[in-house]
Structure 1
Amino acid sequence: MCQVEFEMACAAIKQLKGPVSDQEKLLVYSFYKQATQGDCNIPAPPATDVKAKAKWEAWNQNKGMSKMDAMRIYVAKVEELKKKDTG
Protein backbone atom coordinates (compact mmCIF):
# COMPACT_ATOMS: atom_id res chain seq x y z
CA MET A 1 0.00 0.00 0.00
CA CYS A 2 1.40 3.35 -0.94
CA GLN A 3 0.45 6.99 -1.16
CA VAL A 4 0.05 6.76 -4.95
CA GLU A 5 -2.66 4.07 -4.69
CA PHE A 6 -4.47 6.18 -2.10
CA GLU A 7 -4.32 9.29 -4.30
CA MET A 8 -5.56 7.30 -7.29
CA ALA A 9 -8.51 6.06 -5.22
CA CYS A 10 -9.24 9.65 -4.14
CA ALA A 11 -9.41 10.65 -7.80
CA ALA A 12 -11.39 7.55 -8.81
CA ILE A 13 -14.16 8.13 -6.31
CA LYS A 14 -14.93 11.48 -7.94
CA GLN A 15 -15.47 9.68 -11.27
CA LEU A 16 -18.19 7.31 -10.03
CA LYS A 17 -21.41 7.66 -12.01
CA GLY A 18 -23.74 5.33 -10.13
CA PRO A 19 -25.56 6.14 -6.92
CA VAL A 20 -23.58 5.80 -3.70
CA SER A 21 -25.63 5.42 -0.52
CA ASP A 22 -25.25 7.92 2.30
CA GLN A 23 -23.92 5.09 4.49
CA GLU A 24 -21.20 4.29 1.92
CA LYS A 25 -20.32 7.98 1.59
CA LEU A 26 -19.94 8.26 5.36
CA LEU A 27 -17.77 5.15 5.48
CA VAL A 28 -15.47 6.40 2.71
CA TYR A 29 -15.35 9.87 4.31
CA SER A 30 -14.42 8.43 7.70
CA PHE A 31 -11.49 6.42 6.31
CA TYR A 32 -10.34 9.38 4.20
CA LYS A 33 -10.25 11.64 7.26
CA GLN A 34 -8.48 8.99 9.35
CA ALA A 35 -5.92 8.43 6.58
CA THR A 36 -5.19 12.11 6.04
CA GLN A 37 -5.58 13.57 9.54
CA GLY A 38 -5.48 10.71 12.03
CA ASP A 39 -7.80 10.55 15.01
CA CYS A 40 -10.76 12.91 15.12
CA ASN A 41 -9.43 16.10 16.67
CA ILE A 42 -12.44 18.40 16.62
CA PRO A 43 -15.24 18.71 19.18
CA ALA A 44 -18.54 17.01 18.40
CA PRO A 45 -20.95 19.31 16.58
CA PRO A 46 -24.38 19.97 18.10
CA ALA A 47 -27.01 17.28 17.56
CA THR A 48 -29.07 19.83 15.62
CA ASP A 49 -26.47 19.75 12.82
CA VAL A 50 -27.42 16.25 11.68
CA LYS A 51 -25.03 16.01 8.71
CA ALA A 52 -21.98 17.30 10.59
CA LYS A 53 -22.80 15.07 13.56
CA ALA A 54 -23.04 11.97 11.33
CA LYS A 55 -19.70 12.78 9.68
CA TRP A 56 -18.04 13.41 13.06
CA GLU A 57 -19.39 10.14 14.50
CA ALA A 58 -18.24 8.16 11.45
CA TRP A 59 -14.72 9.59 11.67
CA ASN A 60 -14.54 9.23 15.45
CA GLN A 61 -15.37 5.50 15.19
CA ASN A 62 -11.95 4.99 13.57
CA LYS A 63 -10.10 6.40 16.58
CA GLY A 64 -6.83 4.57 17.16
CA MET A 65 -6.61 3.21 13.61
CA SER A 66 -3.28 3.86 11.89
CA LYS A 67 -3.21 6.12 8.85
CA MET A 68 -1.86 3.21 6.78
CA ASP A 69 -4.73 0.92 7.77
CA ALA A 70 -7.23 3.67 6.99
CA MET A 71 -5.63 4.17 3.55
CA ARG A 72 -5.77 0.44 2.88
CA ILE A 73 -9.47 0.22 3.79
CA TYR A 74 -10.26 3.41 1.85
CA VAL A 75 -8.66 2.01 -1.32
CA ALA A 76 -10.49 -1.31 -0.89
CA LYS A 77 -13.84 0.45 -0.40
CA VAL A 78 -13.32 2.64 -3.47
CA GLU A 79 -12.47 -0.47 -5.52
CA GLU A 80 -15.68 -2.09 -4.28
CA LEU A 81 -17.70 0.99 -5.28
CA LYS A 82 -16.02 1.07 -8.70
CA LYS A 83 -17.03 -2.57 -9.31
CA LYS A 84 -20.62 -1.75 -8.37
CA ASP A 85 -20.51 1.32 -10.61
CA THR A 86 -19.50 -0.66 -13.69
CA GLY A 87 -21.97 -3.42 -12.91
Structure 2
Amino acid sequence: MNFEEAVIKVKDIPNGKLSQDELLSLYALFKQQSVGDIPAESSRPGVFALKDRYKWDAWKKLDGMSKEQAAEEYVILVEQLLAKYL
Protein backbone atom coordinates (compact mmCIF):
# COMPACT_ATOMS: atom_id res chain seq x y z
CA MET A 1 0.00 0.00 0.00
CA ASN A 2 1.30 3.46 -0.78
CA PHE A 3 0.58 6.75 1.02
CA GLU A 4 -2.36 7.78 -1.17
CA GLU A 5 -4.00 4.37 -0.74
CA ALA A 6 -3.45 4.53 3.03
CA VAL A 7 -5.15 7.95 3.19
CA ILE A 8 -8.21 6.40 1.56
CA LYS A 9 -8.13 3.12 3.51
CA VAL A 10 -7.92 4.78 6.92
CA LYS A 11 -11.46 6.04 6.32
CA ASP A 12 -12.63 2.40 6.47
CA ILE A 13 -12.00 2.35 10.21
CA PRO A 14 -15.33 2.93 11.99
CA ASN A 15 -15.77 6.25 13.79
CA GLY A 16 -15.02 6.13 17.47
CA LYS A 17 -12.60 3.19 17.27
CA LEU A 18 -9.33 5.14 17.17
CA SER A 19 -7.79 6.41 20.39
CA GLN A 20 -6.73 10.04 20.77
CA ASP A 21 -3.08 9.01 20.48
CA GLU A 22 -3.77 7.09 17.27
CA LEU A 23 -5.65 10.04 15.79
CA LEU A 24 -2.86 12.44 16.73
CA SER A 25 -0.23 10.15 15.21
CA LEU A 26 -2.19 9.90 11.96
CA TYR A 27 -2.64 13.67 11.87
CA ALA A 28 1.00 14.44 12.58
CA LEU A 29 2.36 11.96 10.04
CA PHE A 30 -0.09 13.20 7.40
CA LYS A 31 0.89 16.84 7.99
CA GLN A 32 4.60 16.01 8.01
CA GLN A 33 4.26 14.17 4.70
CA SER A 34 2.08 16.77 3.01
CA VAL A 35 3.56 20.01 4.43
CA GLY A 36 6.87 19.12 6.07
CA ASP A 37 8.08 20.79 9.25
CA ILE A 38 5.82 23.27 11.02
CA PRO A 39 6.51 26.71 9.53
CA ALA A 40 8.91 28.78 11.64
CA GLU A 41 6.38 31.61 11.96
CA SER A 42 3.79 29.23 13.42
CA SER A 43 3.24 29.58 17.14
CA ARG A 44 1.87 27.02 19.55
CA PRO A 45 -1.89 27.43 20.07
CA GLY A 46 -3.00 28.82 23.41
CA VAL A 47 -4.28 27.00 26.46
CA PHE A 48 -7.91 27.52 25.48
CA ALA A 49 -7.45 25.77 22.13
CA LEU A 50 -6.50 22.39 23.56
CA LYS A 51 -7.40 20.31 20.50
CA ASP A 52 -5.30 22.53 18.25
CA ARG A 53 -2.49 22.53 20.80
CA TYR A 54 -2.39 18.72 20.95
CA LYS A 55 -2.32 18.52 17.16
CA TRP A 56 0.44 21.14 16.94
CA ASP A 57 2.51 19.33 19.60
CA ALA A 58 2.14 15.97 17.82
CA TRP A 59 3.25 17.50 14.52
CA LYS A 60 6.11 19.45 16.15
CA LYS A 61 7.58 16.18 17.51
CA LEU A 62 8.19 15.13 13.90
CA ASP A 63 10.31 18.19 13.02
CA GLY A 64 13.19 17.11 10.81
CA MET A 65 11.52 13.93 9.57
CA SER A 66 11.58 13.65 5.79
CA LYS A 67 8.35 13.54 3.83
CA GLU A 68 9.30 10.08 2.56
CA GLN A 69 9.83 8.72 6.08
CA ALA A 70 6.55 10.26 7.24
CA ALA A 71 4.74 8.59 4.33
CA GLU A 72 6.31 5.22 5.17
CA GLU A 73 5.40 5.50 8.84
CA TYR A 74 1.86 6.62 7.97
CA VAL A 75 1.36 3.54 5.78
CA ILE A 76 2.72 1.24 8.52
CA LEU A 77 0.43 2.82 11.11
CA VAL A 78 -2.63 2.56 8.86
CA GLU A 79 -1.88 -1.11 8.16
CA GLN A 80 -1.59 -1.77 11.91
CA LEU A 81 -4.83 0.07 12.65
CA LEU A 82 -6.71 -1.74 9.90
CA ALA A 83 -5.53 -5.08 11.28
CA LYS A 84 -6.55 -4.00 14.79
CA TYR A 85 -9.99 -2.56 14.07
CA LEU A 86 -11.32 -4.37 10.98
Q: 1:30: which partner in 2?
A: 28
Which stretch shifts more, 65-74 or 11-20? Answer: 11-20
1:7 equivalent in alignment to 2:4: yes
Letter of the 2:4 counterpart? E
| CA-CA distance at 1:43 after TM superposition | 1.7
Letter of the 1:49 counterpart? A
Letter of the 1:74 counterpart? Y
Distance 1:50 1:44 in 2: 10
Which consecutive aligned stretches of 4+ in structure 1 deviate over 2 angstroms post-superposition? Answer: none
For structure 2, which runs of at least 5 residues remain unmatched after alignment? none
Give the secondary-structure state (helix, strand or coil) at the position aligned to 1:14: helix
- What TM-score comes out, normalization by structure 2 length? 0.91
| CA-CA distance at 1:17 after TM superposition | 1.8
Task: State the Cα RMSD in Å.
Answer: 1.3
CA shift digits 1:14-44 (9 cap, x unpaired): 1112600011000111000000000011221
| CA-CA distance at 1:58 after TM superposition | 0.1
For structure 1, which runs of at least 5 residues remain unmatched after alignment? none
Q: 1:64: which partner in 2?
A: 64
Which stretch shifts more, 18-27 or 71-80? Answer: 18-27
- What is the aligned-residue identity percentage? 35
Letter of the 2:74 counterpart? Y
1:83 equivalent in alignment to 2:80: no
Q: 2:38: which partner in 1?
A: 40
